[in-house]
Structure 1
Amino acid sequence: MTTLADPVPGGRPGDVARATALGGELAGRGVQGIVLSYVDTAGVCRVKTVPTAKLASAAAWGIGMSPVFDTFLAHDTIVSTGVLGSPDGDLRLYPDLDALVALSAQPGWAWAPVDRITQDGHRHPGCSRTVLRRIVSEAAERHGLAFKAGIEIEWAYGRGDVPDDVFVPATAGPAYGAVRQVDLSECTADLLAALAAQGVEVDQLHPEYAAGQFELSTGALDPVAAADRSVLVRQTVRAVARRHGLRVSFAPAVTADGVGNGGHVHLSAWRDGANLHSGGARRHGMTGEAESFTAGLLARLPALTAVTAPSPSSYLRLRPSRWAGVFTAWGLETRECALRVITGTAGRRDQQANLEVKPVDLAANPYLALACLLTSGLDGLSRGAALPGEVTGDPARFTEQEAAALGVGRLPVSLAEAVAAFRGDEVLRAALGPVLADAVTAVREGEIASVEGLDDDQVAAAYRWTY
């Protein structure tokens, strides 16, 4: 459950009393401080912390932080737009008390995501969490729709006793192999225990394909809560790994030559408790609205990659025949298509059917990514967009002529190409607003400039421990 109302100076009705009670409860459990967390345009989680005794004050009046971080690059260089990037101004960070949780793997600390408002009490136009809340609320008001979302989390465990700039896998063994699970069983058992203590519902945790790689998936939530959970889970993975002498990398490409870490997004649209992706008369049980929603996403994929794959290292991962979904195509359970229709298991399809968006990694700001994905799908739904024919197998096998006949194209092969597509996409830019849209392009162009002249190995190394 997340709070969908905007913060206000002085606190929303009941917030101060509730924060006072929560602060007392947390203090009684030995919690000394609260981590106030948001994700910047570059995909980096930024924080401020307050003593537990100051939680009520934060709920009433927020905590100050500069808006300059909206134009920070992943390595803390600052770029600028016409509005952002100067040393001027201040914002207030307001914790979402509904999402406040004591951190099991960081004794003495609790965590809460924040919304950011101006000193005058207005929405900060660069706050991606606020933008996502607005899009979710407008979809309910205009279309009677609600959404469920989940973000897969992949990471690589590295040894912590090697130089900081080196990645040495903490475990060997085959992909999905029992060897890896055994090697890291104490660490991963502690991770499951920590997440359970924090109220995070884990569906699966298993060894993955790349060296030292694991994947975790959680239960579906409303989009804002799903983005919050993605940030919280990563905070917990890092903390548990550190207690076991390990490091973790969520970077899209831990090494230049391997399969990278994804952050695939699962989405489903619902009306009056019914899943639009199941029980319909269209292909694979979709309703007409679900097909149009999928078509909207398909149409905007090139521009979306500037948000869902926002790092130069993202394009080391987005390569054909690696299940990264680098083609503008959709299919039933087809892991090489950018959009994968999942019907779910017979007997549970009304609950499980969803759409998986594959060209997403964990360099992406999850609030920003979900805001743009929902905008794209809703645009298709509003237009009654037609979904083209599906694709089976690997689209890489098609000749240029065959791909053109099917409407299958290659997603951008570089961040520069993705930014050019985003610049030309009026629907996405309008949904984000000019301040945030300009920040996206400025930050991406800054990242491009920062790796100029670097080879693939150097690009992978530059971002390995950033996310």
Structure 2
Amino acid sequence: MTTLADPVPGGRPGDVARAAALSGELSGRGVHGIVLSYVDTAGIGRVKTVPTAKLPAVAARGVGMSPVFDTFLAHDAIVTTDVLGSPDGDLRLFPDLEQLVALAAQPGWAWAPVDRITQDGTRHPGCSRTVLRRVVADAAERYGLEFRAGIEIEWVYGRGDTPCDTFVPATTGPAYGATRQVEVSACTAELLAALAAQGVDVDQLHPEYAPGQFELSVGALDPVAAADRSVLVRQTVRAVAQRHGLRVSFSPAVTPGTVGNGGHVHLSARRDGVGLHSGGDRRHGMTADGESFTAGILARLPALLAVTAPSPASYLRLKPSRWAGVFTAWGLETRECAVRVIAGAAGDRDREANVEVKPVDLAANPYLALACLIAAGVDGLARNAVLPPEVTGDPALLTQEEAAALGVARLPESLPQAVEAFRADPVLREALGPVLADAVTAVREGESAAVDGWDEERIAAAYRWTY
């Protein structure tokens, strides 16, 4: 389970003793170093590493790292806010020991997500993992809610023997085809073995639509652990691929004009152990609170895109009729809708019913994405928000009159449009807090300015191997 308490100087109760035991255990298994992992505002995984023997000291005192990374862009340029972006100051990285795991595809290494606190021992307002934990705790305290989440992982395999700026698919088989599975079967079998060794519960792994594309779905967890797992799975996918001479891209748009890589989020809410999206008398078995929670997410999608689709490359993926969910539309298991209500199979609906949010990709910081989605849903529940009429089929085929009657509108078609909506959204900004919300705005504006005037091919190439 996820550690629910914030780190403190000297270590949380029991952490130092636990770290000492883990250090000895891992050293005995040939693990020499610990990867301390977090995700920055731009969605880039950042790390520091320490020798395994230092783990008890790290649990007590943390590891120093600059707060400037909160305003790094994806390509390492730095922007500033009134609080962040200067060379001043330091933070402490504290690992969540409950999530520490030896990396099966990186012999000699273990991995742990971190929370970041200030030198004075207070929460760092830019730490997205801490913010997500706070949002989840607040929903539990105020509304008695608990959540389960899962993030789908899509990527492409590219050949590793090609020039570093190019993409040549490592498979030639058709979408969802058995041929494609055979072509990389040794790599994907090792991937499944590595994930199993790391305690990752895989639901399915299959070829996807775009050239060289695969998708992996994992079991649902509490939101913080689900975000941790998304980071760990991607680290493992990349490490296994490298061992097989392949390159991996999680970029939203590896090549323009084709279906991109998504990171769809599945989210369910429960109260007193009972799901809000099944067993009710509202549409498709939702309870009144379940419908309002879903309506809250749908209503804030334009602003949410600044967090769930945060890269200029994201908008090369967000095109109509590509199952990316680019309209303010919801429906029952309708893959063109931005919000897809999944009722689940008969007999399992109390366990499986959930909401899938489709305009999400893996350039997103998963902690930020889940924090904002939950905040939007909880706001809808608090307001008793009502869902508009549902949509069947492809919303892109609706006439203007039909779309207006259903409340269907195009979501932002560019990152600047999404940022404008985010800047005006009080619920999302309050959920993140002013420091982190301003960092989101500054980083997105920096990314947009960096590619101003570029065509789609140049944007796709610039971000192809970044994520």
Task: Give the TM bin, normalised by the shorter chain.
Answer: over 0.9
Name the stretch that deviates more: 447-456 or 361-370.
447-456
CA distance in 1, matches of 2:48, 2:400: 51
> Is 1:322 aligned to residue 322 of structure 2?
yes
CA distance in 1, matches of 2:202, 2:405: 42
Matches of 2:406 and 2:215, distance apart in 1: 33
* Residue in structure 1 matched with residue 129 of structure 2 by the alignment: 129
Give secondary structure in 2 for the equivalent of 1:114. strand
Superposed, 1:258-407 pairs within 5 Å as: 258-407=258-407
Work out the CA distance in 2 between the residues paired with 1:375 and 1:105: 36
Q: 1:296 deviation in Å?
A: 0.3
Q: Partner letter of residue 414 of structure 1?
A: S
CA distance in 1, matches of 2:55, 2:381: 42
2:425 equivalent to 1:416: no
For 1:295 and 1:453, the matched residues in 2 are separated by 36
- TM-score with structure 2 length normalisation? 1.00
Corresponding residue for residue 242 of structure 2: 242
Q: Which amino acid aligns with 1:153?
A: I
Q: Report the secondary structure of 1:35's partner residue.
A: strand
SS, match of residue 58 in structure 1: helix
Aligned: 1:210 with 2:210: yes
Whichever residue aligns with residue 37 of structure 1, its letter is: S
Query: 1:75: which partner in 2?
Result: 75
Q: Tell me, in whole angstroms, the C-alpha distance in 2 between the residues paired with 1:21 and 1:173.
A: 48
The reply on whether 1:139 has 2:139 as its aligned counterpart is: yes
Q: In structure 2, what is the equivalent of residue 426 of structure 1?
A: 426
Equivalent residue letter for 2:103? L
Structure 1 CA distance, aligned partners of 2:386 and 2:250?
36
Identity %: 81
The DSSP-based 3-state class of the residue aligned with 1:267 is strand
What is the alpha-carbon distance in structure 1 between the residues aligned to residue 38 and residue 118 of structure 2? 15
Between the aligned partners of 1:294 and 1:258, the Cα distance in structure 2 is 29
Counterpart amino acid of residue 318 in structure 1: L
* Matched residue type, 2:445: E
The separation in 2 between residues aligned to 1:409 and 1:340, in whole angstroms, is 16
Say which SS state the counterpart of residue 156 (structure 1) adopts.
strand
How far, CA to CA, are the matches of 1:384 and 1:68 in structure 2?
40
How far residue 257 of structure 1 moved from its aligned partner, in angstroms, is: 1.4
* Cα offsets for 1:258-300 (capped at 9, x unmatched): 1000000000001111111111111111000000000000110
1:2 alignment partner in structure 2: 2
How far off its partner does 1:453 sit? Answer: 2.0
Q: 2: CA distance between counterparts of 1:14 and 1:222?
A: 22
SS at match of 2:328: strand
Aligned residue in 1 for 2:456: 456
Deviation for aligned residue 1:123: 0.2
Corresponding position of 1:438? 438
**Partners in 2 of 1:400 and 1:390 — Cα distance?**
16
Distance 1:389 1:452 in 2: 38
Q: What is the CA–CA distance in structure 2 between the aligned matches of 1:77 and 1:226, rounded to whole Å?
A: 29
Deviations 1:67-124 (A, max 9, x none): 0000000000000000000000000000000000000000000000000000000000
Q: What per-residue deviation string (whole Å, max 9, x for no partner) do you get for residues 339-386 of structure 1?
A: 000011101111000000000000000000000000000000011111
Q: Deviations over 1:398-448 (max 9, x none)?
A: 122221121101000000000000000011101101100000000000000
The one-letter code sitting in structure 1 at the alignment partner of 2:343 is T
TM-score (norm 1): 1.00
Deviation at 1:4, TM superposition (A): 0.9
How far, CA to CA, are the matches of 1:276 and 1:453 in structure 2?
46
Give the match's secondary structure for 1:322: coil
Letter in structure 1 aligned against 2:194:
A
Separation in structure 2 between the aligned mates of residue 283 and residue 153 of structure 1, nearest angstrom:
29
User: What's the counterpart of residue 157 of structure 2?
Assistant: 157
Q: Does 2:108 match 1:84?
A: no
Structure 1 residue 197 corresponds to structure 2 residue 197: yes
Separation (CA, whole Å) in 2 of partners of 1:46 and 1:297: 29
**Aligned twin of 2:95:** 95
Structure-2 separation of matches of 1:231 and 1:317: 21
Output the CA distance in 2 between the equivalents of 1:452 and 1:387: 37
User: Does 1:22 find its partner at 2:22?
Assistant: yes
- Give the 3-state SS of the residue equivalent to 1:427 in structure 2: helix
CA distance in structure 1 between the partners assigned to 2:453 and 2:356 by the alignment: 35
Residues 297-319 of structure 1: per-residue CA shift (max 9 Å, x gap): 01100000000000000000000
Q: How far, CA to CA, are the matches of 1:430 and 1:109 in structure 2?
A: 38
Instruction: Output the amino acid matched with 2:276.
Output: L
In structure 2, runs of 5+ residues without a counterpart are none
What stretches of structure 1 move > 2 A for 4+ residues in a row? none
* Post-superposition CA distance 1:104-152 (Å, at most 9, x none): 0000000000000000000000000000000111111111110000000
- Work out the number of aligned pairs and report it: 467
Q: Distance in 2 between matches of 1:256 and 1:388?
A: 33
d(CA) in 2 for partners of 1:370 and 1:68?
23
The amino acid across from 2:190 in the alignment is D
Question: Does residue 1:170 correspond to 2:170, yes or no?
Answer: yes
Counterpart secondary structure, 2:157: strand
* Aligned-partner SS, 2:124: coil
Output the CA distance in 1 between the equivalents of 2:248 and 2:278: 37
Aligned partners of 2:462, 2:400: CA distance in 1, in Å?
34
Q: Name the SS for the 1:327 alignment partner.
A: coil
Question: Residue 397 of structure 1: CA displacement?
Answer: 0.8
* Residue 58 (structure 1) aligns with: 58
What's the counterpart of residue 41 of structure 2?
A: 41
Root-mean-square deviation (Å): 0.5
